[in-house]
């Protein structure tokens, strides 16, 4: 007679069992959005990861607005007999969601699912791979590699009430400027200043003739659209797409998973 766990495993088939045997399950946790483009983009990122690591089982969950929720996915994994999970926040900075929201949800799950070992991986940023993805999007939008020295870039992020997160964006802009761009200025869609349109106007007033806006956000939605509107309002010459399912993002997801999996002592399991 099959137990509940056995029936669930059988229903998923041998391919799922083989992926589970490849190491801890990777649970990608996205914020979620009412905008359907957000979830579509998250699923596209996850497909890229699966293509890079076909032996790895990858699941997706959302904090809000979209299904499935984080608790629901963890309950399903526990029922299937999974015992190790690496929870990877699909976030670019360590702000409230990474410091409070996600750890809180995972700790609540640990109380209800004591057999399931869950470790939270680091957020995606900062990383040279993300800068590579930003440049990919700029080039796709029409900036040519030979135009770096004559192009000013506005590095536009969602913004945060956490000053540490905003300071990281400013530092990325400073470091990126050293790679040959005419100028790189940080900007924020909410919670902090300057806004995208202000940064574009500041560069124009400084004599920069060609200005490109790089959206340092992972998926489309309300704030990325606000960045684009501000850029267009201020007369930016180029507005790049969001990072989305860029190959560099998929590689970074795999890197963060591997780092967490290999650093058991440094990243202890979340417990009650």
Residues 258 and 227 in one domain: no
Residues 229 and 254 in one domain: no
> What is the span of the domain harbouring residue 182?
142-239
Residues 8 and 120 in one domain: yes
Per residue in 160-197, pLDDT (tens digit) is 999 999 999 999 999 999 999 999 999 999 999 999 99
Highest mean pLDDT (candidates 5-9, 140-144, 263-267): 140-144
Q: How many other C-beta atoms are found inside a 10 Å radius of the C-beta of residue 177?
A: 16
Counting the structural domains of the chain, the total is 2
Say if CB 208 and CB 181 are below 8 A apart.
no
| pTM (2 d.p.) | 0.88
Q: CB neighbours of 199 closer than 8 A, spacing ≥ 6?
A: 154, 156, 185, 186, 187
Per residue in 73-114, pLDDT (tens digit) is 999 999 999 999 999 999 999 988 889 899 999 999 999 999
CA distance 180 to 199: 19
Predicted local distance difference test score (pLDDT) of residue 271:
54
CA distance 153 to 141: 13
Residues 36 and 105 in one domain: yes
Residues 12 and 118 in one domain: yes
CA distance 142 to 265: 46
239-244: average pLDDT: 98
Q: Which long-range contacts does 244-247 make (Cβ < 8 Å, 24+ apart)?
A: 244/41, 244/44, 244/45, 244/218, 244/219, 244/220, 245/41, 245/44, 245/45, 245/47, 245/48, 246/133, 246/136, 246/137, 247/48, 247/133
What is the pLDDT confidence band of residue 65, given thresholds at 50, 70 and 90?
A: very high
Residues 73 and 155 in one domain: no
* Cα torsion through 249, 251, 253, 254, rounded to 10: 170
Predicted local distance difference test score (pLDDT) of residue 97:
83
Per residue in 9-30, pLDDT (tens digit) is 334 443 444 344 569 999 999 9
Residue 131 inside a domain? The answer is no
Say if CB 115 and CB 77 are below 8 A apart.
no
Predicted local distance difference test score (pLDDT) of residue 22:
64
Residue 190 inside a domain? The answer is yes
Predicted local distance difference test score (pLDDT) of residue 172:
98
CA 162 to chain centre: 17
Q: What is the spatial order of strands in the sheet that 117-120 belongs to?
A: 58-62, 25-30, 84-89, 117-120
245 pLDDT above the threshold of 50: yes
Residue 61 inside a domain? The answer is yes
Tell me whether the omega of the peptide bond preceding residue 45 falls within 30 degrees of 0, making it cis.
Answer: no
DSSP annotation of 187 reads E
Residue 147 inside a domain? The answer is yes
**Per-position DSSP letters for 33-96, written without gaps between them:** -SSHHHHHHHHHHHHHHHHH-TTS-EEEEESSSSSSBHHHHHHHHHHTT--EEEEEE--SS-SH
- Per the listing, tokens 């007679």 go with 1
Residue 267 inside a domain? The answer is no
Residue 136 inside a domain? The answer is no
CATH number for the domain that contains residue 11: 3.40.50.1400
């Amino acid at each position: 007679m099959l137990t509940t766990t056995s029936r669930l495993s059988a229903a998923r088939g041998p391919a799922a069992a083989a992926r589970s045997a490849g190491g801890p399950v990777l649970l990608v946790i996205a914020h979620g959005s009412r905008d359907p483009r957000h979830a579509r983009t998250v699923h596209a990122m996850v497909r890229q990861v699966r293509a890079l690591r076909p032996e790895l089982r990858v699941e997706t969950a959302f904090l809000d607005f979209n299904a499935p929720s984080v608790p629901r996915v963890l309950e399903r994994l526990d029922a299937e007999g999974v015992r190790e999970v690496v929870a990877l926040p699909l976030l670019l900075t360590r702000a409230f969601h990474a410091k409070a929201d996600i750890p809180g949800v995972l700790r609540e799950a640990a109380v209800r699912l004591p057999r399931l070992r869950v470790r939270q991986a680091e957020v995606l940023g900062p990383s040279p791979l993300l800068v590579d993805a930003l440049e990919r999007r700029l080039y796709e939008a029409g900036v040519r590699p030979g135009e770096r020295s004559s192009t000013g870039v506005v590095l536009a992020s969602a913004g945060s009430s956490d000053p540490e997160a905003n300071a990281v964006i400013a530092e990325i802009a400073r470091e990126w400027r050293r790679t040959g761009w005419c100028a790189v200025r940080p900007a924020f869609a909410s919670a902090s200043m300057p806004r995208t349109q202000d940064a574009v106007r500041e560069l124009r007033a400084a004599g920069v003739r060609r200005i490109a806006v790089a959206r340092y956000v992972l998926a489309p939605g309300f704030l990325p659209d606000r960045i684009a509107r501000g850029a267009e309002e201020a007369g930016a010459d180029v507005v790049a797409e969001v990072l989305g399912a860029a190959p560099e993002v998929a590689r970074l997801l795999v890197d963060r998973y591997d780092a967490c999996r290999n650093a058991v002592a440094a990243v202890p399991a979340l417990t009650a």
